[in-house]
């Protein structure tokens, strides 16, 4: 018998996980969603056929509770949820910056807590999630949390001290690549290409390049060198990017994202 899972928070990521779990074979009897907006609740019920409740404490009846909420909402949600929790239950937090220690200090002793940093490609089942166990999170809990996140992509386990760096790379990472795509498309238009053509060229190039990285297992530098002929067009473009400090800009950007993640957790 499958364990019952509650999804607290039905925003974009909450619905993404719900949709992935349904596609992975979880039935309506194995799921419950907490959503206080009546219109949104009705929408989810119609779309997925799962029970939707407006009482956060009701989620505590499930074996596993997914907290898919904003960091600033975590304390309030835990205040509602904690009195109904019991030792051995699993809480999986997807709130950026919120530590397992923060959650554990607000729930009964023995409640297992796992911290997860997902990303938005989970919307197309190509997500990347990093998971870290808390004090009472045993291997069985970790396996359950990993199985839930695997419904929408890949999962890696990392020490919790690395979660802020994970947030900077994969959590926020899709936005960097969307910005690169946007810049390439705009440059293509500037160079005289029709916008639909520039869009298709940029998107397929990003997709194909990512697929090459994953399927070949080669270091990015090796693949980059394969495209870069001495004195050629790619070499000229790469030199210009380096002259504009591309690597330094990425390092500074990721450090800023990491630092903001730390601030959210404090």
Low-confidence ranges of the chain (pLDDT < 70): 1-2
DSSP reduced 3-state for 122: helix
Nearest to 151 by CA among 122, 177, 130, 178: 122
Predicted local distance difference test score (pLDDT) of residue 36: 87
158 phi/psi in degrees, rounded to 5: -135, 155
Tens of pLDDT, residue by residue over 67-88, are 999 999 999 999 999 999 999 8
What's the rounded Cα separation, in Å, for the pair 263 and 120?
22
> Domains in the chain and their CATH numbers?
5-160 (3.40.50.720), 173-265 (1.10.3730.10)
CB-CB contact of 161 with 258 (8 Å) = no
Residue 169's Cβ-side half-sphere holds a number of Cα atoms within 13 Å equal to: 8
Predicted local distance difference test score (pLDDT) of residue 2: 62
Tens of pLDDT, residue by residue over 192-247, are 999 999 999 999 999 999 999 999 999 999 999 999 999 999 999 999 999 999 99
């Amino acid at each position: 018998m499958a364990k019952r899972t509650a999804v607290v928070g039905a925003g974009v990521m909450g619905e993404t996980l719900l949709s992935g779990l349904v596609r992975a074979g979880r039935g309506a009897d194995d799921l419950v969603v907490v959503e206080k907006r009546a219109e949104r609740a009705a929408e989810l019920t119609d779309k997925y056929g799962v029970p939707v409740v407006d009482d956060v404490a009701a989620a505590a009846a499930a074996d596993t509770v997914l907290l898919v909420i904003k960091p600033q909402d975590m304390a309030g949600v835990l205040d509602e949820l904690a009195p109904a929790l019991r030792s051995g239950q699993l809480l999986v937090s997807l709130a950026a910056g919120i530590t397992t220690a923060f959650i554990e200090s607000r729930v009964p002793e023995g409640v297992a807590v796992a911290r997860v940093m997902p990303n938005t490609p989970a919307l197309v089942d190509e997500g990347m999630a990093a998971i870290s166990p808390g004090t009472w999170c045993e291997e069985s809990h970790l396996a359950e949390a990993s199985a839930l996140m695997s419904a929408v992509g890949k999962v890696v386990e990392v020490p919790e001290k690395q979660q802020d760096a994970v947030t900077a790379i994969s959590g926020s990472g899709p936005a960097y690549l969307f910005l690169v795509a946007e810049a390439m498309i705009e440059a293509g238009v500037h160079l005289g290409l029709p916008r639909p053509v520039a869009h298709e060229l940029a998107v397929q190039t990003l997709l194909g390049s990512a697929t090459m990285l994953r399927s070949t297992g080669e270091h990015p530098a090796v693949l980059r060198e394969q495209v870069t002929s001495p004195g050629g067009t790619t070499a000229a473009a790469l030199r210009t990017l380096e002259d504009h400090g591309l690597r330094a800009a990425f390092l500074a950007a990721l450090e800023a994202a990491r630092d903001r993640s730390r601030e959210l957790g404090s």
